[in-house]
Every structure is written in structure tokens, then in C-alpha cells.
Amino acid sequence: MKLLMSVVVLMYVVAAEDVMSPTLDIISEIKKIKTMEEKLNALYDEFRELRSKNEVHTEVKNLMNSLSSAVSALNDAVLNTNPFFSQLTSRTRNKLKQNDCWKSSIQTDQQNKQRDFESLSSSLSALKSSVSDLTSSVASLSSKQQTSDAPVTCKSGWISYKSSCFFFSSNALNWTEARDYCKAQGALLLKIQDDDREWAFLNHHTIPTSYWVGLTDQTTDQWRWVDDTPYTMNKERWNPGQPDDWKLGEEREDCGVITNTGKLNDGHCYIKFRFICRVQF
Ligand SMILES: [Ca+2]
Ligand SMILES: [Ca+2]
């Protein structure tokens, strides 16, 4: 561009030399030419700046177009992936709902287990208490048993056996008199425990003599002890065929007696036999 301008100036100068000869005119023209050259240079610089700006603008425009394309592509991508996100969101919500249900179920289960545990603990405490009571009862019974087995001290003429005092009379009375005598002594006409060792003790002191005991079926036709407690029949304690309620005249046999054999018979109550009284502690 500068070259072009210089050629133009030179042609102008040559043309001017041909046309104008005076020196002052030439100097004046040269100044004009320089002024024009400066103006042309300024225009050239301005043109170059404008061209540079235009290039920047083009570049910015291209960048904007690229950016717009990228945004459009991104938007399309977002639109394409939107169903996926929607589905994912739905699944996540469902999972959260399921988690809430599970959490509620687990909490309920834990509460039920806690109640069961408390109930079991309570039952266990009650059971422990019962076991403790039973242990105490067993200890108490054991102590009583030991006490009951211990021999007691009896008044003169009475025999001690375990926790009882026995009186084997040397005189004979009818059954009713014998009952009343024992009662007057603070005792009972003999009430026997169904115990082989006690039977052996009694036989040791009765055989070969007969003794009234506290058994009768006089009022009820059912054998009962003198304290009105029921008697449980044990035929092994009776003589063969007894009790037979044998009738003599108008009288039947209604009173129990240990005979000289050491076994029981029902006899007529008015007969006088020896008798046995017992005080049990
Ligand atoms: Ca009878
Ligand atoms: Ca009989």
C-alpha cells in the first residue's frame, strides 16, 4: 500500500515539475504532498485497525456460532436424557417409599421384640420368685420332716416313737370308754398311719394281745377315724375275711381292734379290750 502511495506521489511530482517551474510552488506542493501522505498513512492505520476489528468480530461470531451449536447439542442431549432422569427419579422415589416401609416394619418388629423381651423378663422374674418360694418351702418341709422324725419326750407310762407318744393300756375298756379315756388325756384313740415301720412298732407292743384302735363304722357304715377323717381301706392290715360286720343278736361289729395276730378285725364295740392312745406332735 505504501509503495502504491509513493508511486502516486512520484508521478504527481514528475507531473508537477513538467507543469510548474518556480521553486516556491514546488515546496508548497511538496508540503501538501507530505500532508496528504500523512493523512493517507493515518487512513491506512485506521483501515488496518478496522480490518483487525473486523477479523476479531468474525472470530467472535464464529465462536458464538460454535457456542450456540454446542448449547443446542447440549439441549438435545438433555432432552434425550430427560426420560432417563424422569425414570431414575421415579425409581428413587419408589426406593425411598420402600425404605420408609421397611423402616416402619423394622421399627414395629423391634417394638414387638422389646415387648416380648419385657414380658419374658417379667415371666422369668416371676419364675425365679416361684423357684425361690419353692426352695424355701422345701427347706421348711425338710426341717419339719427332720423335726417330725426326731423322738419326743413323753410323760411317764407313754412310749415315744418319732413325733408321737403312745399309751398301751394295761386295763380293758369298751370302745366308747377307751375313746373317752384317750380324749381326757389330750390324746386320740389310735389313728394309724399306713406306714410299715409304724405297724412293726405297734405289733412289737401289741402281739399277742388285742387293743382297740380309733376306727369305727358305727354311725355311717363307712370306716372312719375317731377324729372323723376318712379311712382308706388296706386289706393287708386286716385279718383274712375281715371286716365282716358279723352280727350277734342285734349288734353288728362296728369298732376296729388290733388282734393278737397283729392285724385288724371289726369287733362288737361293747367288748372290753385294752386300747392304745396317741398324741402326735
Ligand atoms: Ca360294721
Ligand atoms: Ca369281724
Per-residue pLDDT of the chain (281 residues; tens, 9 = 90+): 444 444 444 444 444 444 445 567 778 877 887 888 888 788 778 878 877 776 766 776 777 777 777 767 776 765 676 666 567 657 757 777 886 777 788 788 888 888 887 888 888 888 788 777 877 777 777 666 655 566 789 999 999 999 999 999 999 999 999 999 999 999 999 999 989 999 999 999 999 999 999 999 998 889 999 999 999 999 999 999 999 999 998 899 999 999 999 999 999 999 999 999 999 99
**What are the domain boundaries of the chain?**
1-115, 159-280
- For 246, the 3-state DSSP assignment is coil
Expressed in angstroms and rounded, the spacing between residue 219 Cα and the centre of ligand 1 is 9
Query: What is the number of helices (H) and of strands (E) in the chain?
Result: 4, 10
Expressed in angstroms and rounded, the spacing between residue 257 Cα and the centre of ligand 1 is 12
CATH code of domain 159-280: 3.10.100.10
Expressed in angstroms and rounded, the spacing between residue 255 Cα and the centre of ligand 1 is 7
Phi, psi of 103 (to 5 degrees): -60, -45
Expressed in angstroms and rounded, the spacing between residue 266 Cα and the centre of ligand 2 is 4
Expressed in angstroms and rounded, the spacing between residue 246 Cα and the centre of ligand 1 is 7
Expressed in angstroms and rounded, the spacing between residue 270 Cα and the centre of ligand 1 is 13
Interatomic CA distance for residues 218 and 228, integer angstroms: 12
- For 253, the 3-state DSSP assignment is coil
Other C-beta atoms closer than 10 Å to the C-beta of 158 total 19
Expressed in angstroms and rounded, the spacing between residue 148 Cα and the centre of ligand 1 is 34
* Strand partners of residue 53: none
For all residues of the chain together, what is the average pLDDT?
Answer: 82
Other C-beta atoms closer than 10 Å to the C-beta of 63 total 10
Q: Are 229 and 240 in contact (CB under 8 A)?
A: no
| pLDDT tens-digit readout, 137-169 | 777 776 666 555 667 899 999 999 999 999 999
- Predicted TM-score (pTM) of this structure: 0.50
Residue 243: cis peptide before it, omega within 30 degrees of 0 = yes
Distance of CA 157 to the CA centre of its chain: 66
